[in-house]
Amino acid sequence: MSTFLEPWLEAVPAAVVAELRQARSLLVVSHENPDADTLGAGLALRLIIEARGGRASLVCTDVPPPLYAFLPGIDAFRTDPEPGVAYDLAVLVDCGSLERVGELRERQAEILARLPTVVIDHHASNGAAGPADWVDPRSAATCELVTLLAAALGVPLTAGDGALATALMAGIVMDTATFAHPNATPRTLAVSAALVAAGAPLSEISNRLYRTKPDVQLRLFGRVLDRLQTAAGGLVIHSTLLTADVTETGALSAHSEGIIDLLSQSEAAEVAILFKEAGPATRISVRTKPGGFDATVLTGLFGGGGHARAAGASLQATVSEARALVLPEAERLAAAVQR
């Protein structure tokens, strides 16, 4: 076990360790529209359970975007469980609520209801309270928690010829924006140091996730930036991503990843909002500045959740209707910030 992790292992719940110790056939469920944290945590759990002599299936409603093709084992993800496999435990990773599982929840309602379930997550809005659920909003990423879990189970971070460390590092890099977000704590850095010591290629991962984009993605970003608007004297900055933008630029829906973080770089705005057309509904992504209002206060008004600085929600409304509902609330909250 890495000496970097010894001071932090008491945080790992004994009930979670016990469930994983006895599990022989694991169903690992990631959230819809997957990112590096949910995918990395899933891949890591598969390697952890295999290192202990068991097996694991990885499922996600949506196929992982091409951005994550560099992650070893990413092709193992399926959109539904393997037929004929007798699972003894389901683990939901990085799912702020059961709804985040997406359509898989309806398609596999029977198996998800039947299996004992463990939730491992870091979203403050997650209300999971099962005896073996581990929800820690102080964690920068779910992959931070899974790293500690691997150590608690005695699985070396070098497992899989570096694949375990790479998967876990990817989730942490994504959810901290390469350690630029205020959610990176001393424990986050200790965990990351342990992963780098185990062979995680930190520089390569950072470049792939944040500094490498196909031309179609840059064109997509350009359309969104061209629609940039402000409100409340610049305290609110917002833009819109339409379905037509994705089609006409030749991009993929997954290429919208990162746009909201670009908007959040506004010097003056307290809150950045991206309105994303999603069929008859609208998805909003929200970012707020450190010391400002909690992003989940805004998204919670519309049934969403997330983190204090990064949150989201889905509204059953058109983009124009969603703007009319969300912007007045965003302006109210932004105007109340005292600096």
- 190 and 273 together in one domain: no
- 281 and 237 together in one domain: yes
Enter the pTM of the model: 0.90
Q: What pLDDT is recorded for position 324?
A: 98
- 177 and 55 together in one domain: yes
Q: What pLDDT is recorded for position 307?
A: 87
- 236 and 88 together in one domain: no
- 138 and 245 together in one domain: no
- 39 and 59 together in one domain: yes
Number of domains comprising the chain: 2
Q: The domain spanning residue 243 has which CATH number? A: 3.10.310.30
- 254 and 114 together in one domain: no
* Number of residues assigned to the chain: 339
Encode pLDDT of 119-129 as tens digits: 999 998 898 98
Ranges of the chain whose pLDDT falls below 70: 1-2
Instruction: Tell me the residue range of the domain where 97 lies.
Output: 6-210
Q: Looking at the domain assignment, is residue 1 inside a domain?
A: no
Q: The domain spanning residue 69 has which CATH number? A: 3.90.1640.10
- 127 and 255 together in one domain: no
- In sequence order, which residues have a C-beta less than 8 Å from that of residue 245 and are 6 or more positions away? 220, 223, 224, 251
Domain termination site, one of 210, 237, 268? 210
Q: What pLDDT is recorded for position 181?
A: 87
- 190 and 220 together in one domain: no
- 67 and 141 together in one domain: yes
Q: What pLDDT is recorded for position 2?
A: 65
Tokens 């997406």 found at: 102
Q: What pLDDT is recorded for position 1?
A: 57
Q: Looking at the domain assignment, is residue 120 inside a domain?
A: yes
- 126 and 221 together in one domain: no
> What angle in degrees, to the nearest 10, is found between the helix axes of 186-197 and 202-210?
110
- 262 and 306 together in one domain: yes
Encode pLDDT of 285-298 as tens digits: 999 999 999 999 99
Residue whose C-alpha is closest to residue 40's, from 157, 129, 154 = 157
